[in-house]
Amino acid sequence: MKRIINIIRHPRAAVVLHDFCMVVVAWFAAAWLMESASAISSRSDLWTLSDLSIVLVLQGIVLWATGLYKGLWRFASFQDLWNIARASAFGAIAIVAVLALKQGSTIGQWIPAALVYPALLFVLLGLPRMCYRFWKDSQVLITPREEGVKRVLILGAGRSGAMLERELRRRGGFDVVGFLDDDRRLRGAQVHGVPVLGPIDKLPGIGEAYHADLAIIAMPSATNQEMQRIVEVCELSEIDFRTLPTLQDLGSQATSIGDLKRVVIDDLLGRDPVSLEWESIREGLVGKRVMITGGGGSIGSELCRQIARLNPVELIVVDHSEYSLYRIDHELRSDYHDLLFHSVLGDICDPATVEKVIGEYKPDVVFHAAAYKHLPILQTQIREAFRNNVFGTMRVAEAAERHGVGTFVLISTDKAVNPANIMGATKRVAEMYCQNMNARSDMRFITVRFGNVLNSNGSVVPLFQEQIAKGGPVTVTHPEISRYFMTISEASQLIMQAAVMGSGGEIYVLDMGEPVNITYLAEHLIRLAGKEPGRDIEIIYTGLRPGEKLFEQLFHELEPYEQTTHEKILLAHPRESDWNELRVELRGSELAVKRYDTKYLKKALVRLVPELSKSSFSTEPAKVVPIYRSR
């Protein structure tokens, strides 16, 4: 009974009741007009309740089927009038067909009425809707606008939207004129006295009608597909828009529900919030001395932030960049006053530095994030790639074993799978070395692979943003090129999770979701900057760079993988490599590094990673002719 009462009270029920009344009026009016014109004396065949029931049922079904009740009277448009016209015509046809079967020869008396009926119904259904809209529009137009106050539409009438409305009212300077929400049950409802005006797709029309200055997306739990759709609607509306922090942002204790931010590419390409087993992570890191190499970089600095929250006994950060080390040092000392923190300016390729740091601080866990990663540069710098990515890893791993470090986590890349470039190949050699060390040591050596990280130093997103700021063009190497992406915080948290999961020797692969087309990424970045791809900012295709693949892989064909206890961490079964052969090649390569013998290093790298022989060491850019341009 309660549910029936709620249905009756729903604004949609009033609309349906109105339309049914208009159907009755239109049918009887048509019958009366035709009777008057033809002077029919007997009206029994035109006014029977059974015929009227058939008219109501058939016309009601047609009205519902044409989508008339998906819209709101407040935003009645020509599309609604078109739906009414179709429903009136199709309803009349259905009524004639059914009554013809029912009455047979007597049908001729009311066929003229059935011809007049659709026109009357169109007027009776359409006119009230348009009058209502014009009346509401006039109300909006005469509503006084306070100087300096922004008219706001909140997208999302859930808990976050309600909290935001209260916060904006308390803060002042904002006038929340309405909510938009796709939940049909909320249509016509009010949140804190503010009406829910319609679905989010109606934002362009509603924003114009209410003269909105700002749209705020209040949906922290929205998926990236939902965010992409909502942002596209916001862009069509040409209204300035902001978003609330995501659930991950809110969980970082750095933001509040009232903090507004511009929509960034992370909001569109990030995935659902990562669910971590924080208890196991705390047990694995709390009370431990943790050392992070490359701690000033994108991944390294985020690891510092995440681990600092877990109250380690000591946190030791090593980086060879003075400025990067200064930034993370200043941040951690400002935010974590009780943290015992040491910053070390040094090169992991320097044996004396590595020996001194690990020997003095004796960390329990080492996260090895230091590496050269810029693919095009390393393609012509094989000596430095070998020296840093391979021998730097060896120096840290060997010193860690000598001083009794418990866990060594190598942060690797998807480019180490079937590598077609020097960067990926050197990271694969580092993986091979750590796997062999694990088999010959009491330490746990764990490898974690993942793809590109949004907004990391030297990544494609900052490059595109810089090109957009200069007015373009945005350069993409190939129309079909795609990459896996995840956010910096997601990657760092999953690295910590993998570090406490492994028993040693594993290669964990982070679930990167679906690959993202780079042209699609460029187009979204252009639109987020308030410009239109192909009109304001051009996209040009320059050709694949040496060693660059169209598509990256997360697993080698000889590395079968399986699920782990965490849904976003997969386990690859590593390929075995001969320890004696590996050591011989590395000794020869180390001498070649000292001699700066790049020819020897190229041959050694092919011997160590045979997949590399399929690619070319050419430093000339790939030729793609003609240069394609976005339209």
Question: What pLDDT, on the 0 to 100 scale, is given for residue 106?
Answer: 54
Mean pLDDT of 253-282: 63
Exposure pattern of 119-129 as b/e (b: 16+ CB <10 Å)?
ebbbebbbebb
Q: How many CB atoms lie within 10 A of CB 585?
A: 18
Cβ-Cβ contacts under 8 Å for 296 (sequence gap 6 or more): 317, 319, 321, 323, 324, 325, 327, 328
In this prediction, residues 348-353 reach a mean pLDDT of: 93
Q: Report the distance separating Cα 255 and Cα 288, nearest Å.
A: 28
Q: Which residue has the higher pLDDT, 138 or 464?
A: 464
Mean of the pLDDT values across residues 572-587? 83
Predicted local distance difference test score (pLDDT) of residue 389: 95
Beta-sheet strand order (sheet of 314-319): 341-345, 314-319, 289-293, 365-368, 407-411, 444-449, 507-510, 569-572, 561-563
**Spatial separation of the C-alpha atoms in residues 563 and 619, rounded to whole Å:** 39
CA atoms of 339 and 474, how far apart (whole Å):
43
The DSSP annotation for 138-190 comes to HHHHHSPPPTT-EEEEEE--SHHHHHHHHHHHHH-SEEEEEEE-S-GGGTT-E
CA-closest candidate to residue 151, choices 134, 132, 168: 168
Q: Which two tokens stand for residue 88?
A: 């009136």
pLDDT tens for 476-515 read 888 888 887 777 888 888 888 888 888 888 888 887 777 7
User: Is the pLDDT score of 127 beyond 70?
Assistant: yes
Q: Residue 175: pLDDT above 60?
A: yes
| Mean of pLDDT values over 196-223 | 84
d(CA 307, CA 95): 72
Asked if pLDDT for residue 107 goes beyond 70, the answer is no
Average pLDDT of the chain is 78
3-state secondary structure of 591: helix
Superfamily of domain 150-263: NAD(P)-binding Rossmann-like Domain (3.40.50.720)
pLDDT in tens, 552-579: 766 666 666 767 777 777 777 767 778 8
- 614 or 399, higher pLDDT: 399
Q: What is the CA radius of gyration of the chain?
A: 34
CA distance 415 to 556: 11
Which helix (H) or strand (E) segment holds residue 445: the answer is strand 444-449
Element (DSSP H or E) covering residue 235: helix 224-237
- Give ∠ CA 183-206-158 in degrees, rounded to 5: 30
Q: What is the pTM of this model?
A: 0.65
Q: What is the mean pLDDT of residues 306-312?
A: 87
Which two three-digit tokens encode residue 199?
């679905």
Question: Which tokens belong to 565?
Answer: 């206890």
Among 127-131, 433-437, 503-507, which stretch is predicted with the lowest mean pLDDT? 127-131
pLDDT of residue 330: 92
Q: Domain ranges in the chain? A: 2-142, 150-263, 278-451+487-512+553-614
Percentage of the residues of the chain whose pLDDT score is greater than 70: 76
Q: pLDDT tens digits, residue range 391-402?
A: 999 999 999 999
DSSP state, 561? E
Architecture of domain 278-451+487-512+553-614: 3-Layer(aba) Sandwich (3.40)
| Confidence at residue 315, expressed as pLDDT on a 0 to 100 scale | 93
The C-alpha angle with vertex 262 and arms to 259 and 268, in degrees rounded to 5, equals 115
Per-residue pLDDT band at 625 (split at 50, 70, 90) = very low
Exposure string of 486-502, with b = 16+ CB inside 10 Å and e = fewer, is: bbbbbbbbbbbbbbbbb
Confidence bin at 246 (pLDDT 50/70/90): low
pLDDT of residue 143: 47
Distance, in Å, from the CA atom of 627 to the CA atom of 561, rounded to the nearest integer, reads 39
Residue 338: per-residue pLDDT? 83
- Of 47-51, 88-92, 140-144, 310-314, least confident by mean pLDDT is 140-144
For residue 617, the model assigns a pLDDT of 55
Torsion of CA 342, 345, 349, 350, to 10 degrees: -90
Distance CA 357, CA 350 (A): 11
Residue 198 confidence (pLDDT) above 80? yes
Question: Which position has the higher pLDDT, 312 or 72?
Answer: 312
278-451+487-512+553-614 shares the fold of 150-263: yes
Q: Which of 340-354, 468-482, 519-533 has the lowest mean pLDDT?
A: 519-533
pLDDT at 364 exceeding the cut of 50 = yes
- Left, alpha or beta for 285 (phi > 0: left; psi -120 to 50: alpha)? alpha
Interacting residues of 160 by C-beta distance below 8 A, sequence separation 6+? 218, 219, 220, 244, 257
Amino acid 158: pLDDT: 83
Position 235 scores a pLDDT of 82
- What pLDDT does 1 receive? 42
d(CA 132, CA 149): 28
Q: Residues 492, 497, 503, 508: is their CA dihedral positive or negative?
A: negative
pLDDT of residue 293: 96
Give the pLDDT confidence score for residue 553 in this predicted structure.
66
CA distance 308 to 305: 5
215-230 pLDDT, tens per residue? 888 887 777 778 888 8
Q: Which of 278-287, 312-321, 511-520 has maximum average pLDDT?
A: 312-321
